[in-house]
Amino acid sequence: MRLQAIDVKLGYGDRTIVNGLDLGIEAGTVTTIIGPNGCGKSTLLRALGRLLKPMGGQVLLDGKRIDQTATKEVAKILGILPQAPTAPEGLTVADLVARGRHPHQSWYRQWSSDDESAVAEALDMTGLLDLAERPLDELSGGQRQRAWISMALAQGTDLLLLDEPTTFLDLAHQVEVLELVRRLHGQAGRTIVMVLHDLNLAARYADRLVAMRDGRVVAAGAPHEVLTEELLLQVFDLDAKVIPDPVAGTPLVVPIGTRHLPDRGTAAKETVST
Amino acid sequence: MNAKTAARSVARPLRVSTMSWLLRPRALLVALTSAAALFLLMALNMRIGDIPMTLADVVAATFGDTQNTFIIMELRLPRALAGALIGAALALSGAITQAIARNPLASPDVLGVTQGASVTVVAAIVFSGTAYGGASGLLATLGIPVLGLLGGLAGAVIVYAFAWRRGLEGYRLVLVGIGIAAVFTNLKYWLLTVGDVHDSSRAMVWITGSLHARGWEHVVPVALALAVLLPAALLGTRSLGALRFGDDTVTGLGVRMNRARSAMLLIAVLLAAVATASAGPVAFVALAAPQIALRLAGTAQPPLVVSALVGAVLTAGADLVARTLFSPAELPVGVVTAVLGAPYLIYLLVRIRRERRT
């Protein structure tokens, strides 16, 4: 187990979002957390990446309590890409990616040859070498997302947590980012944990799915075990057909309608009348 | 372009076995030029006074023993040094504040320091007029800087207490700071209106920021503060660079965010408080100097040492203008720093936008 959440209680202020959750992330797997909005998936990911301190329970990184490990040491093992990250205005791609070397630097070790090669490699792997000198705000959404992933790569960790890395991207760019994730996994056997919204892409690019609802893990396992018609109803209140993806053979969700509202017929009338 | 040069185009790495540093040639050049300009401006400042001197007289009296040495050493050098050091301390404080607030318009004014000091000093002058008047000059020189320092620190503590909510967040700090500064400012104006006219006008000079009659007793505290706090700030430069990113990114990079932010903020507060205690709240230096330094050095964030030097140049230049413009009458330096710094910053902004377009 690379990462383990044991009986964690998570929330912000007085609000508890996750209560008594257990989850283990195995080495060398791509795990994707799915679930409806507000189910606590990002909260869980933030706790796994020590961005959020649990109110109860504990998170273990390689068997050691993450909150008792120096945050700089954690940063050498685990890289996290937050949801919708922000960078200072006018920052270039190269500057952003170089920032990923922060945990390896100190005042007498500001820019080693290791830093230089790690940044070059990260830029190369994400196909950004030609854009290195461009300001981040001039890039397209997909390029910018690749730049952030590149920064996490430059950090040189074999454990990566990505919070909705495909938000705001069109389908082609979503696929591009997820193929990059798959490549990163394939090249060095990196362990990757992601939060994704698109169930079909999640099924295609993950080894393991974790389905959450109301702060609990409802199901966890291989995509074809988790992504069933019963589960979709249970987790998303979604009536759907699940058929094999004609390209990858992974489960493909074809929605029929939701059961969020008690009666679809009257709900539709109400919307019309208001 | 190959990735090696792409990674850090404004900096050259210097490596000695496992150690490495980044050298920024352009920032170094700007620093040296600023230092030269500072010496020239200080020397020009030291010519001014009841006994006129040439530049050669000033240099001879400073580094040798001439008939003017006493005047230079006891009156003119401390004043020139006070200006330079106060400018440097304010600029350094501004550079740190802007990085923490992630806002180029932030300055120690939003940390509660300047207004806290102003209210305290005005209250002291207005409520105990005679005690701080000409009759007991000793109290005036001892009392006002200490009161200013305490008031500035108290103002900062108030802002910090209101801004802290399970951590320190830049945006919240700026909003709270602006709110509390507004309260202090109004309190200050109320004190000025209820006070005796003569007391109020003396208080006015202080709250505009003045280098008039500043001696060694004003130089030493600022020099000590800089000697301790500049190296401390430089040690924190790297985390300051990281603090400009979003909170989650900062923590993800292994920075102990709240600790780093609070430590750097403390440095900024102390620098601003000590500088304000010595000369009153000299306007605009803390805001403009880091931004001018950033544009001259071409770096991603205000470089601390260059900011401090630019702040010193700005203040020394402003003092020269303040003393020569309506000579022999003298303006408070704080009036001129704003008038001088603002157009220069606007010029830099316009020029850089044009460069980008072409």
Condensed to tens digits (0 to 9), the pLDDT of residues A213-269 reads 999 999 999 999 999 999 999 999 999 999 999 999 999 999 998 876 555 444 444
Report the pLDDT value the prediction gives residue A183, as an integer from 0 to 100. Answer: 92
pLDDT for B82 beyond 90: yes
Average pLDDT over residues B124-128: 78
To the nearest whole Å, the CA of A253 is away from the closest chain B CA by: 33
SS3 of residue B228 by DSSP: helix
Higher pLDDT, B169 or A251: A251
Cβ neighbours of B13 in A, within 8 Å:
110-111, 116
Cβ neighbours of B256 in A, within 8 Å:
71
Report the pLDDT value the prediction gives residue B3, as an integer from 0 to 100. Answer: 41
Average pLDDT over residues B245-262: 91
Q: Which of A21-25, A164-168, B266-270 has the lowest mean pLDDT?
A: A164-168
Report the pLDDT value the prediction gives residue B103, as an integer from 0 to 100. Answer: 82
Chain B residues whose C-beta is within 8 A of a chain A C-beta are 1, 3-4, 6-9, 11, 13, 15, 18-22, 102, 166, 234-235, 237-238, 241-242, 244-246, 248-249, 251-256, 300-301
Q: Which of A73, A102, A106 to mutate to test the interface with B (most CBs of B within 10 A)?
A: A102
Q: Which of A60-69, B31-40, B160-169 has the lowest mean pLDDT?
A: B160-169
Which residue in A has a C-alpha nearest to residue B11's C-alpha?
A: A111
Cβ neighbours of B300 in A, within 8 Å:
88, 90-91, 95
Q: What is the pTM of this model?
A: 0.86
Report the pLDDT value the prediction gives residue B5, as an integer from 0 to 100. Answer: 41
Which residue in B has a C-alpha nearest to residue A112's C-alpha?
A: B20
Average pLDDT over residues B167-172: 82
For chain A, list the domains and their CATH numbers: 1-77+157-273 (3.40.50.300), 87-156 (no CATH)
Q: Which of A70, A79, A90 is opposite residue B252, by nearest beta carbon?
A: A79
Question: What does the angle CA B352 – CA B355 – CA B358 come to, to the nearest 5 degrees?
Answer: 155
pLDDT for A106 beyond 50: yes
Question: What does the angle CA B168 – CA A135 – CA B20 come to, to the nearest 5 degrees?
Answer: 70
Cβ neighbours of A86 in B, within 8 Å:
245-246, 249
Q: Is B244 in Cβ contact with A49 (below 8 Å)?
A: no
Q: Which of A72-76, A204-208, B166-170, B235-239 has the lowest mean pLDDT?
A: B166-170
Report the pLDDT value the prediction gives residue A262, as an integer from 0 to 100. Answer: 57
Q: Which of A81, A90, A132 is opposite residue B3, by nearest beta carbon?
A: A132
pLDDT for A40 beyond 60: yes
Q: Is B7 in Cβ contact with A120 (below 8 Å)?
A: yes
Q: What is the mean pLDDT of chain B?
A: 86
Q: Which of A111, A153, A155, A159 to mutate to test the interface with B (most CBs of B within 10 A)?
A: A111
Confidence of residue A175 (pLDDT cuts 50, 70, 90): very high
Q: Which of B23, B230, B253 to mutate to test the interface with A (most CBs of A within 10 A)?
A: B253
Report the pLDDT value the prediction gives residue A22, as an integer from 0 to 100. Answer: 96
Average pLDDT over residues B193-197: 85
Among residues of chain B, what percentage have pLDDT more than 70? 91
Q: Which of A38-47, A257-266, B251-260, B308-317 has the lowest mean pLDDT?
A: A257-266
Cβ neighbours of A101 in B, within 8 Å:
none
Higher pLDDT, B325 or B267: B267
Q: Which of A155-164, A189-198, B126-135, B188-197 has the lowest mean pLDDT?
A: B126-135
To the nearest whole Å, the CA of B13 is away from the closest chain A CA by: 6
pLDDT for B351 beyond 80: no
Q: Is B235 in Cβ contact with A105 (below 8 Å)?
A: no
| Whether B304 contacts B237, CB under 8 Å | yes
pLDDT for A177 beyond 70: yes
Confidence of residue B357 (pLDDT cuts 50, 70, 90): low
Higher pLDDT, B339 or B278: B278
Among residues of chain B, what percentage have pLDDT more than 90? 42
Angle, helices B77-101/B216-235, rounded to nearest 10 degrees: 30
Confidence of residue B166 (pLDDT cuts 50, 70, 90): confident
Report the pLDDT value the prediction gives residue B131, as an integer from 0 to 100. Answer: 45
If DSSP states are collapsed to H, E and C, what string results for chain A?
A: CCEEEEEEEEEECCEEEEEEEEEEECCCCEEEEECCCCCCHHHHHHHHCCCCCCCEEEEEECCEEHHHCCHHHHHHHEEEECCCCCCCCCCEHHHHHHHCCHHHCECCECCCHHHHHHHHHHHHHCCCHHHCCCEHHHCCHHHHHHHHHHHHHHCCCCEEEEECCCCCCCHHHHHHHHHHHHHHHHHHCCEEEEECCCHHHHHHHCCEEEEEECCEEEEEECHHHHCCHHHHHHHHCEEEEEEECCCCCCEEEEEEEECCCCCHHHHHHHHHHC
**Surface-to-core class of residue A160, CB atoms within 10 Å of its CB (0-12 exposed, 13-18 middle, 19+ buried):** buried
Domain boundaries along the sequence of chain B: 24-357
Give the whole-angstrom CA distance, residue A21 versus residue A144.
33
Q: Is B241 in Cβ contact with A51 (below 8 Å)?
A: no
Q: Which of A110, A128, A148, A164 to mutate to test the interface with B (most CBs of B within 10 A)?
A: A110
Cβ neighbours of B254 in A, within 8 Å:
70-76, 102-103
Confidence of residue B4 (pLDDT cuts 50, 70, 90): very low
List, in order, residues 6 or more apart from B320 with CB less than 8 Å away: B41, B44, B45, B48
Considering the segment(s) B24-357 as one domain, its CATH architecture is Orthogonal Bundle (1.10)
pLDDT for A119 beyond 90: yes
Q: Is B252 in Cβ contact with A119 (below 8 Å)?
A: no
Q: Which of A189-193, B9-13, B257-261, B332-336 has the lowest mean pLDDT?
A: B9-13
Average pLDDT over residues B311-319: 95
Report the pLDDT value the prediction gives residue A267, as an integer from 0 to 100. Answer: 44
To the nearest whole Å, the CA of A216 is away from the closest chain B CA by: 24
**Surface-to-core class of residue A23, CB atoms within 10 Å of its CB (0-12 exposed, 13-18 middle, 19+ buried):** buried
To the nearest whole Å, the CA of B25 is away from the closest chain A CA by: 15
Report the pLDDT value the prediction gives residue A272, as an integer from 0 to 100. Answer: 43
Report the pLDDT value the prediction gives residue B1, as an integer from 0 to 100. Answer: 40
For residue B345, give the H/E element and its range. Answer: helix B333-357
Report the pLDDT value the prediction gives residue B65, as an integer from 0 to 100. Answer: 86
